[in-house]
Amino acid sequence: MSPTAQEVVETVVEQRPISLGRKLLAECLGTFVLVMGGVGTAVIAGHKVGYLGVALAFGFTLLFLVYAIGPISGCHVNPAVTVGQLLLGRVSAVEAVYYIVAQLIGGFISGGVLYAIARNLPTYDRTVDGLGANGWGAHSPSSVGVGDPLSRITINGYGLAATITVEIILTALLVFVVLASTDRISNVPLAGLSIGITLAVIHMIAIPIDGTSVNPARSLAVAPYQDGAGTQVWAFIVFPLIGGVLGALIYGALFGRTRDLDA
C-alpha cells in the first residue's frame, strides 16, 4: 500500500535534521527550568516541603524535561552529562562547548530570576538565607548556629572530603544512568523515568552533605548570591566533571561502547 501524502510529510519532518541553534535554545531553556524547578523549590518552599520535597522537585523537573526537550537536544542540561556524551562520541567537541555555554547562560538567568523573587520577601537576608548554593563546612546544610544573634557561632557540617566523595560518585551514577537509559538496547521511552528517579535519589543522599550539585551549571547559577559560597564553587565544577568522566567510562565498560562504535 502506498503511503498517503500526510504520512510522507510526517516522515520528511521526522527525518529533517535539527539545527544546532534549536538544540542550544533547548539546552538553555532546559537548564533554566531545572534550576527554577529544583533550586526554586529549595529557596521558596524548602521550609515547607523539606529535603524530600526538594529532591522530588529536582527529579520530577528532569523527568519532564527529558520528554519535553530530549527529542531536540538530548536534554543534557548539565555540563557533566555533556562531557560524558562527548567521551562516547555522541556529540562533537564543538557541540559540547556550545552546549555547556548554553547551559551556563540558562542557569545564570534562572539564578538571577530566583534572586529577584527571593529578595522581594521583606524578611529575606542574603547573608543568612542565601540562594540554595552548594557548600561544605560552614556552608553545608548540616551546619548549625549556636547562641544568640550577637554571639552566634557556627558548628560546621560535612567537610570537603565528604563533598568530593558524593559529587564524584553520584555524578558518575547520574551520567551512567543517562547513557545507559538512552542506549540502543535499552527501553528508551522509559529513559525520562529512570533518569528523573535517579536524580531524586541522588538529592535524597547528598542534600544534607553539600546541598547536592552533580551539575556545575546548577552550582554556578546561584553561587554569587550566597556570601562565602562563591569561594567554594570550584569544587562543584571540578568534581562533578570528574564524576561525569567516570560515569562514561563505567558505561563504556559495561555496554562495550567506545567512540568507534555507534552507541
pLDDT-above-70 percentage for the chain: 88
Q: Where does 19-255 sit in CATH, by number?
A: 1.20.1080.10
More confident residue, 230 or 67: 67
Q: What is the DSSP string of 82-138?
A: HHHHHHTTSS-HHHHHHHHHHHHHHHHHHHHHHHHHHTTSTT--HHHHTTS---SGG
Cell 547559577 belongs to residue: 221
Give Cα 72 distance to the centre of its chain.
18
Nearest CA to 34 among 226, 199, 182?
199
What's the rounded Cα separation, in Å, for the pair 51 and 39? 11
Q: What is the pLDDT of residue 5?
A: 41
pTM over 0.85: yes
Band (pLDDT 50/70/90 cuts) for residue 146 is low
Instruction: For 43-95, write each residue's pLDDT tens digit.
Output: 999 999 999 999 999 999 999 999 999 999 999 999 999 999 999 999 999 99
Q: What is the pLDDT of residue 122?
A: 84
Instruction: For 106-126, write each residue's pLDDT tens digit.
Output: 999 999 999 999 989 888 776
Q: What is the pLDDT of residue 16?
A: 74
Q: What is the pLDDT of residue 12?
A: 39
Nearest CA to 106 among 36, 195, 59?
36
The grid coordinates of residue 240 equal: 562533578
Asked if residue 11 has pLDDT above 60, the reply is no
Of the ranges 92-96, 153-157, 257-261, which one carries the lowest mean pLDDT score? 257-261
The helix (run of H) or strand (run of E) holding residue 154 is strand 153-155
What's the rounded Cα separation, in Å, for the pair 223 and 204? 21
Domain spans, the chain: 19-255
What's the rounded Cα separation, in Å, for the pair 102 and 82? 11
Asked if residue 227 has pLDDT above 80, the reply is no
